[in-house]
Amino acid sequence: MTWLLLAILAALPMPGTQFKQLPDSKGKAEIEHACYTCHSPDLLAQQRLTPKQWTATVEKMMRWGAELKESDKQVAIDYLSRHFGPENRFTPTATTPMK
Amino acid sequence: MDRRTFLGITAATAVMPKRLLQMNGYPLNLETPLELLTDYLTPNDLFFVRSHWIPRMPDLKTWRLTVDGEVKKPLKLSLADLKKMPLAETTCVLQCAGNGRGLQNPPMPGVQWRYGAVGNALWRGVRVKDVLDRAGVNAGAAHLHTFGSDDPPGKVPPFQRSIEMEKSLDDCILAWEMNGVPLPPQHGAPLRLIVPGWAGDHWMKWLVRLSPQKAPQSGFYMDTAYRWPLNPGAPGVAFKPEEMKPLTELAVKSNITTAPKAVTMRGIYDIRGFAFSGAPDIAKVEISDDNGATWKAAQLDARHSPHAWRLWHYRWTPAKPGRATLLARATDSRGATQPRETVWNQSGYLFNGWHSVDIEVKA
C-alpha cells in the first residue's frame, strides 16, 4: 500500500510545488476553467505562438473536451495571444522530483 | 498513507536541492539543466521526466502484463513471473522526441524543451523477444502494439503506440530496474519498454499490455503526432500527412555541457559534453572555434555500449582575445554528421543543430 501511495505522489506535483501564475487580464477565468483540468499553468506560460497557432490549439483542445463555450473561444484566444506570443520568454521553476 | 511515511517524504524533499526544471507541474514534465548532464549514467533523481497524462498506478499484488493479439497462447504475467526469465540489460540513451523544441524557429506548440530532455541509463529486465516467444507470435504479425496504464481525461485520445516487430525482437527490453534500483514511478514503474536508439515516444511507461498485430496502431499519436518529414521543407510550412513517415530513430547530436564563461590567453581549458545517435555508436566529435571553417577532434570516453551516449572532452587553447564561440558536432558510426541547422518540422522533433557556447577571452 505504501508503494502505491508513493507511486501516486511521485507522479503528481511534490508538496509545495509552485506553478507559474498567469497574468491578470480579460479571459483569464475562462482559460483557467478550460485548461487546468489537464495542464498546469506552466505549460501555457512557456508557449510562443501566433494568433493563428493559438486558434488551432484552442480548437483542438475544444475537440478533445476542454470546457470552453463557443461564445468564449475568441476571448480565450485573445488572452493567450496577448500574453504568450512569439516574443514570450519563459524561465522554468526549479523543482525536485522523488528519487 | 500513515503519518510516518508522510513526514518521511516531506523531510526527504525538504533537504533535496532543487535541480530540475519544471516544464509542466501536472502531468509531470521535468527537464535536466544541461550543465548537470556530465555523468555517463545520468542519476535517477536528475533524469528528465515526460508524462502525457497523470498515471493510474497499479497495486503490485494484482498488476499483470497482458500479452494478447496475434499470439498462440495469450499470457498474463506478474512481475515475479518476468523475473524468473533470463535477465537482460542495456545501457542506452533516452531522449524525448521533442527535446529542443524550444530552440526551433518559428516556434510551435508543445512542451518547450531546450537541451535537457535526455539522459543515459542502465536498464535491466527481460528481452521482449523472450516474452513474445513464450506467447508464440503468429506469422504475419509485423507490429507490436503497446499500452500503458495512464489514462487521459474526457475525449482526449489515449497515448497508444506500436513499433515494428523486427525492432522489438532485436534489442528491446521490458525494464523494471533503472541504474541498479527499482524503476522509479515517474519513469514508468513497475515496467517500461526500452527501445534502444529510438525516440522516447516508443518507450511506453507504466506498461500493462503488449499485443502483436498485423497492422500498425492507429490513432492521434500514430497518425498525426510523432511523424517526420520524408524530405526537408521550408521552416514554418507544415507538411501534409503523405509527406511524413513515423519518427523512429534518434538523430545524431552532441551537446557541450562544460565550458568556462571567461578565460585568459595563457591557459588551456577543458571542454566537455556528450554525443549520441540512432546509430549504435559515435565515431567522432569535433570542435570548431572559427564558425565551422576548421574542426579539431575531441577525445571520446572509452565507456560505451550500443546506443549509449559517448562522453567527450577537448583541451581548448584560445587563439585570440575577444569573444570566442565554440561549436560541437558529432558523426555517428554510420557516417551521418550533425548538421548546422536542424530539419524544421511542425512538431519540433529531434532538434540537432550545432550546439554553441560563447566564451570571453581576456588578453
Instruction: Write down the mean pLDDT value for chain B.
Output: 93
- Is residue B136 located within the same domain as residue B82? yes
Residue A78, in any domain of the structure? yes
Residue A14, in any domain of the structure? no
Report the distance separating Cα B212 and Cα B209, nearest Å. Answer: 10
**Angle in degrees, 0-180, between the axes of helices A28-35 and A73-83, rounded to the nearest 10:** 100
Find the domain containing B51 and state its range: 17-225
pLDDT for residue A12 is more than 90: no
| Nearest chain B residue to A85, by CA | B107
Report the distance separating Cα B23 and Cα B113, nearest Å. Answer: 8
pLDDT for residue B273 is more than 60: yes
Residue B82, in any domain of the structure? yes
- Is residue B85 located within the same domain as residue B158? yes
C-alpha cell at B167: 525492432
* B44: contact with A, CB 8 A cutoff: yes
For B251, the 3-state DSSP assignment is coil
pLDDT for residue B5 is more than 80: no
More confident residue, B331 or B240: B331
Average pLDDT of the segment spanning B114-118? 98
* pLDDT attached to residue B9: 42
Average pLDDT of the segment spanning B68-91? 98
Q: How many domains does chain B contain in total?
A: 2
pLDDT for residue B1 is more than 90: no
Percentage, residues of chain B above pLDDT 90? 84
Exposed/middle/buried for B25, CB within 10 Å: 0-12, 13-18, 19+? buried
Which residue, among B49, B88, B245, B246, has the nearest Cα to B172 in the 3D structure?
B88
* pLDDT attached to residue A14: 57
- Is residue B49 located within the same domain as residue B190? yes
Interface A-B, measured as beta-carbon pairs within 8 A, has a size of 135
pLDDT tens digit string along B14-73?
445 668 999 999 899 999 999 999 999 999 999 999 999 888 778 889 999 999 999 999
CA A63 to chain centre: 17
* A63: contact with B, CB 8 A cutoff: yes
CATH at A33: 1.10.760.10
* B13: contact with A, CB 8 A cutoff: yes
Asked if B178 contacts B122 with a C-beta cutoff of 8 angstroms, the reply is: yes
Find the domain containing A28 and state its range: 24-91
Return the bridge partners of B272, or none: B258, B313
Check CB contact under 8 Å for B111 and A4. no
pLDDT for residue B2 is more than 90: no
* pLDDT attached to residue B184: 94
Average pLDDT of the segment spanning B271-284? 98
Check CB contact under 8 Å for A42 and B24. yes
Residue A2, in any domain of the structure? no
CATH at B306: 2.60.40.650
* B57: contact with A, CB 8 A cutoff: yes
CATH at B130: 3.90.420.10
pLDDT tens digit string along A38-97?
999 999 999 999 999 999 999 999 999 999 999 999 999 999 999 999 999 999 988 876
Check CB contact under 8 Å for A98 and B186. yes
Report the distance separating Cα B332 and Cα B313, nearest Å. Answer: 17
Question: Cα distance from B113 to chain A (closest Cα, Å)?
Answer: 10
- Is residue B87 located within the same domain as residue B29? yes
Q: Any idea what DSSP says for residue B200? A: G
* A29: contact with B, CB 8 A cutoff: no
Average pLDDT of the segment spanning B80-105? 97
| Ordered DSSP codes for B89-113 | EEEEEEE-TTTTGGG-SS--SS---
E strand or H helix that includes residue A62: helix A51-63
Q: How many domains does chain A contain in total?
A: 1
pLDDT tens digit string along B218-234?
999 999 999 999 998 88
* pLDDT attached to residue A34: 96
Residue A13, in any domain of the structure? no
* pLDDT attached to residue B201: 97
Among B20, B109, B156, the residue with its CB nearest the CB of A95 is B20
Report the distance separating Cα B194 and Cα B306, nearest Å. Answer: 13
Report the distance separating Cα B178 and Cα B91, nearest Å. Answer: 10
Report the distance separating Cα B196 and Cα B174, nearest Å. Answer: 12
* B189: contact with A, CB 8 A cutoff: yes
Nearest 10 degrees: CA dihedral of B216, B222, B226, B230?
Answer: 60
Query: pLDDT band at B12, cuts 50/70/90?
Result: very low
Query: The cell 521553476 sits on which residue?
Result: A93
Residue A7, in any domain of the structure? no
In three state form, how does the secondary structure of A6-47 look? HHHHHHCCCCCCCCCCCCCCCCHHHHHHHHCCCCCHHHHHCC
A45: left (phi over 0), alpha (psi -120 to 50) or beta: alpha
* pLDDT attached to residue A8: 47
**Angle in degrees, 0-180, between the axes of helices A2-11 and B3-15, rounded to the nearest 10:** 40
More confident residue, B308 or B60: B308
Q: How many CB atoms lie within 10 A of CB B86?
A: 7
Query: The cell 519544471 sits on which residue?
Result: B22
- Is residue B192 located within the same domain as residue B44? yes
* B17: contact with A, CB 8 A cutoff: yes
Check CB contact under 8 Å for B109 and A57. yes
Check CB contact under 8 Å for B57 and A8. yes
Residue B233, in any domain of the structure? no
pLDDT tens digit string along B322-341?
999 999 999 999 999 999 99
Average pLDDT of the segment spanning B157-177? 96
Check CB contact under 8 Å for A7 and B185. yes
Check CB contact under 8 Å for B18 and A95. yes
For B278, the 3-state DSSP assignment is coil
* pLDDT attached to residue B11: 40
Report the distance separating Cα B102 and Cα B106, nearest Å. Answer: 10
Residue B5, in any domain of the structure? no
Check CB contact under 8 Å for B156 and A65. yes
Residue A4, in any domain of the structure? no
* pLDDT attached to residue A98: 55
Phi first, then psi: what are they for B135, rounded to 5°?
Answer: -80, -25
Residue A31, in any domain of the structure? yes
C-alpha cell at A46: 512557456
Partners of B57 on chain A (C-beta within 8 Å) are 4, 7-8, 11
Check CB contact under 8 Å for B112 and A46. yes
- Is residue B309 located within the same domain as residue B183? no
- Is residue B152 located within the same domain as residue B63? yes
Check CB contact under 8 Å for A39 and B18. no
A13: left (phi over 0), alpha (psi -120 to 50) or beta: beta
Which residue, among B312, B299, B301, B310, has the nearest Cα to B272 in the 3D structure?
B312
